[in-house]
Chains A and B, each alone.
Chain A
Amino acid sequence: SQTIHQWPATLVQPVGSPLSLECTVEGTSNPNLYWYRQAAGRGLQLLFYSVGIGQISSEVPQNLSASRPQDRQFILSSKKLLLSDSGFYLCAWSVTGDNQPQHFGDGTRLSIL
């Protein structure tokens, strides 16, 4: 069966520090991969999605970046965190095709101090 792992589960970082959140998927090949941010009381906001290795599409201009060095690995990064980067970050995968559900990881709670 397919599983998705995100880590760390929680992270507290000072303003201006770098960031690296990792997401890996097991049990499937060539998944579509997504990074979302969820703010309290708001819907999920798509940050990045990827259809293959090295292929990244960005939805929201910001100081975050994403990379997909391997088929089932998706990394969210920042060189210098802002206070506004605090939030709940969710990674998801889906198979290619219409009407396919997204499967989410358990998220990373990021707090910027």
Chain B
Amino acid sequence: KNQVEQSPQSLIILEGKNCTLQCNYTVSPFSNLRWYKQDTGRGPVSLTIMTFSENTKSNGRYTATLDADTKQSSLHITASQLSDSASYICVVSAGWASKIIFGSGTRLSIRP
């Protein structure tokens, strides 16, 4: 069964600290893995997309890694800011449209 599991479900850290969010998947065949940021009451916004051959990709203070052998990905946030408070969603594509599987997200809260 195609699944995407994220951990932790929620996380609270102090402003300025780093954190790492995890994503494990069993989606097959694998096409790409995406990380999205979703602010409360808004639609998700794409942060990174990685294909099978890519094992790391950065977008500012966000760095995503992918291990296609172990089917794991992580999103590392450096020097967190209050605006980083949001849900972070891992999405794995096994092809197209109906084969895009969304994780349930990690709710990140940054405290001043």
Q: Residues of A at under 8 Å CB distance from B?
A: 6, 32, 34, 41-46, 49, 57, 59, 90, 92, 98-99, 101-107, 109
Contacts and interface: CB of A to CB of B under 8 A. Distances in A.
Contacts of B43: 6, 90, 92, 104-107
Interface string B14-54: 00000000000000000110100000011111100101000
Given A90-B43, A98-B31, 7 more contacts: A34-B97, A42-B104, A45-B102, A46-B97, A57-B97, A98-B32, A99-B31
A50 to B, nearest CB: 9
Interface of B: 4, 9, 31-32, 34, 41-46, 49, 51, 89, 93, 96-98, 100-105
Contacts of B41: 106-107, 109
B102 A32 contact: no
A98 B31 CA distance: 8
Nearest to A99: B32
Contact of B104 (A43, A49, A98, A105): A43
B31 A49 contact: no
